[in-house]
Amino acid sequence: MKVKAWLSLGSNIDRERHLRAALGALSRQFGGLRSSSVYESRAVGFEGAPFLNMVVGIETDKSPDELKTLLRGIEVQEGRQREAGKFSARTLDIDLLTYGNQVIERHGKVLIPRDEITRYAFVLGPLAEVAGEERHPLFGTSYAELWAAQGPASNEMRRIELDLH
């Protein structure tokens, strides 16, 4: 049985090339993608070049762990260096935001849905754009409602017109 999953993509090193490569790899693996617009936002947690971010929806029969392994493989193909730490420049970052309506916990910590959905405008804004009527699995609130509640957070990013296909 296929499950809808939402992924967050970001890059601040050779940004367009790495996002384009990620979309190609995801399309080859999962077929049709549902993609948000691309947004530019400042680096969070460190001084660095601005990021390009977007959200992509896929349909998958892979388990969350299999999916995460596949996503890490795409990051590595694009030169991702994890040794640099969480808050550092990166060629490509792909995070599994949601997996159907499931809440997945390990060791008392919620892993899915990712907390970045409500913490960062560059995740919630694009997610609300493509899945506004869907509801956050923990809060039951639609992504559009969560985004509207963010208020001035949308000022932290700007939409970029890019053809990544």
Catalytic residues: 80, 90, 93, 95
Phi, psi of 65 (to 5 degrees): -65, -40
Rounded CA gap, 112 and 44, in Å? 21
Whether 101 contacts 20, CB under 8 Å = no
Q: Indicate if the alpha-carbon torsion angle 119, 122, 93, 5 is positive or negative.
A: positive
The two most distant CA atoms of the chain are separated, in Å, by: 43
Rounded CA gap, 96 and 42, in Å? 21
